[in-house]
A and B are shown apart, each in its own frame.
Chain A
Amino acid sequence: MQDVVSIKDNHIVLPDGSIEKQTTTLNLGPTHPATHGVFQNILEMDGERVVSAKQTIGYIHRAFEKIAERRPLYQITPLTDRMNYCSSPINNMGWITTCEKLLKIKTPKRVDYMRVIIMELARISDHLICNSVVGVDAGAFTGFLYVMQYRELIYEIYESVCGSRLTTNIGRIGGFERNFSDVTWQKLEKFLDEYPRVLKEFENLLMRNRIFMERCIGAGPISAERALNYGFTGPNLRAAGVDYDVRVHSPYCSYEDFNFIVPVGSTGDCYDRFLVREQEMWQSIEIIKQAYQKIQEIKGSGAEIYHADIPEYYLPKKEDVYTKMEALIWHFKIIMGEIDMPVGEVYHSVEGGNGELGFYLISDGGRTPYRLHFRRPCFIYYQAYEELVKGAMLSDAVIVMSSLNLIAGEMDS
């Protein structure tokens, strides 16, 4: 891509050889045809080429950080759902593991493996949307419709665990709200049987398709140094060549027990991002299989554990609340918020669908956090969009935007 922009005295100077007299302003406005989310890009175009891009976000700013200062810990989980809503269980688990780090709670292995299964299913669900939407923006609508059917299966698995399809509020501090039932295991087995074949068909549609390759190769490349400077994480950074994955660097939820590959690209363009996400989906299937096997190996009384033994933070069973005194007292204390958090500050991050999703929690010993800051990967890497599309054509600009997997809920918090 040639370096086209230059600004002299606040006027954008067109490159040499341009037959236009001035740039055209195109508003890729908050209401998009491609339902990526609400953010605005004001592009200055020299004919078909983009000369500069100015982003405006905040069209769905819901003030999560301010709301979180007024909610106790377990009421912040539904807020985190709505950040990256394509893979809400990962956000939930990230928040819950942050709380457990603050409260110094250790979860049993079985709970960790159950969490890993749910998180990897969420990762598959997020990458499916991103890859199929890249296909839609390049013109291939079939992949999207075909793959949505398998997202329905993932939704059914969530529903059998927590009752809700999309904004799951799954998990509690210390574990899960209920043990996975037989129906969940059956649906998981069905998913593991049927899904690999579908993913292979989706790959056959797009991966070596000449039109798709010509659209995507070379669109929006970024080098590893620039990506690191911009704070990229997740599949976008791995496509640029840096193998930074929070699951490997700072393992949480017993990820160190699993054997998986972290795929890495080379040029950081759209095609590399697509390939990295495809490979991550294959790796997620491997991790789910390993976790399922490990859970099946836990026999006996250990097979009924689904939460850590922490009466101060985990609500007791309803039968006990109605019959036993201690359970009634714990129930009252937890719901009315009489249990205070320890004073301290903690930063914990998990590997979300888009990268390192971090939670910086400062507690002053009350019922609600004093300050909670979300490190949202989409917000941080959208700044680089201008550098990615300078000099590219308009259709490349659209494909770059969809391959970055920008989710407005996460961007605007």
Chain B
Amino acid sequence: MSLTNERIKERLIEKFGEQVSNFDEPYGMLTFEVPKDMNLKVMQFLYDDEELKFQFLTTLNAIHYPDNKSRELAIVYHLHNLTDNIRIRFKVYVDINKPDVFTATKIFEAANWLERETYDYYGVNFVGHPNLVRILNVDEMDYFPMRKEYPLEDQTRKDKDDEMFGRGGNFGYGTVKTEDDTTIAESEKGDIGDKII
């Protein structure tokens, strides 16, 4: 009997009970959530178990949800069972003020640089990592650029600033109206009078 998503879900619930939650299958890939203390236990179980041999870490990344208070950073692991050709994905949510997650480098060597990249982009602190320093950005950078509050462009340019591109300069990217909004409706123009250019 080949492995199916239902069987994996059964085995996980059997072993971990209520701690694995939020099962879903977007586009055919089983996705579930794991509390942050249990991520290594779940990964080790998926690795060692005779039936669910998820022994290949495809990728590891993080996502920033600034609106979910106390669950802002989600770390996503994609695992792959090469013999039965099944992929699964599980997510670990952490608070942005204390983003500590146990490192997966002891199980998968591939997680080494992937975790460094996630630290570089989002500031997730992987506990137990052998060398958690910045990997892609300059070493002197003091903020975590992929978080949603930081802008994409280089802020020191003078020829392409927010005003020229009609942006609000805040997280709304121009969609949030600020106080000195100068577009007014036709019906109100009579009141303003001499302020119209």
Contact = CB atoms under 8 A, between A and B. Distances in A.
B59 A375 contact: yes
Contacts of B145: 63, 66
B136 to A, nearest CB: 4
B170 to A, nearest CB: 15
A58 B121 contact: no
B32 interface: no
B27 A358 contact: no
A311 interface: no
Interface stretch (B2-10, B12-20, B105-113, B178-186): B105-113
A383 B58 contact: no
B135 A347 contact: no
Contacts of B68: none
Contact of A379 (B56, B57, B63, B113): B113
Interface in A194-229: 226, 228-229
Nearest to B134: A58
Contact of A373 (B61, B85, B113, B137): B61
Contacts of A66: 145-146, 152
A136 B134 CA distance: 33
A66 B137 CA distance: 13
B87 interface: yes
B27 A344 contact: yes
Nearest to A243: B82
B166 to A, nearest CB: 14
A46 interface: no
A347 B63 contact: no
Contacts of B125: none
B55 A228 contact: yes
Contacts of B76: 360
A413 interface: yes
A226 B55 CA distance: 11
B78 interface: yes
Contacts of A362: 63
Contact of B110 (A63, A231, A249): A231
A58 B141 CA distance: 13
B110 A383 contact: yes
B176 to A, nearest CB: 15
Contacts of B117: 379
Nearest to A228: B56
A63 B152 contact: yes
A150 interface: no
B89 interface: yes
Contacts of A102: 27
B114 A380 contact: yes
B58 A375 contact: yes
B193 interface: no
Contact of A347 (B55, B87, B137): B87
Interface in B64-90: 64, 76, 78, 82, 85, 87, 89
A342 to B, nearest CB: 10
B26 interface: yes
Contact of A57 (B63, B112, B135): B135
Contacts of A67: 152
B61 A360 contact: yes
A383 B113 CA distance: 7
A61 B136 contact: yes
Interface of B: 26-27, 29, 31, 55-59, 61, 63-64, 76, 78, 82, 85, 87, 89, 108-110, 112-114, 117, 121, 134-138, 145-146, 152
Interface of A: 57-58, 61, 63, 65-67, 69-70, 101-102, 226, 228-231, 242, 244, 249-250, 344-347, 349, 356, 358, 360, 362, 370-371, 373, 375, 379-380, 382-384, 412-413
Given A58-B136, A362-B63, 7 more contacts: A228-B82, A230-B109, A345-B31, A347-B58, A347-B78, A349-B58, A383-B109
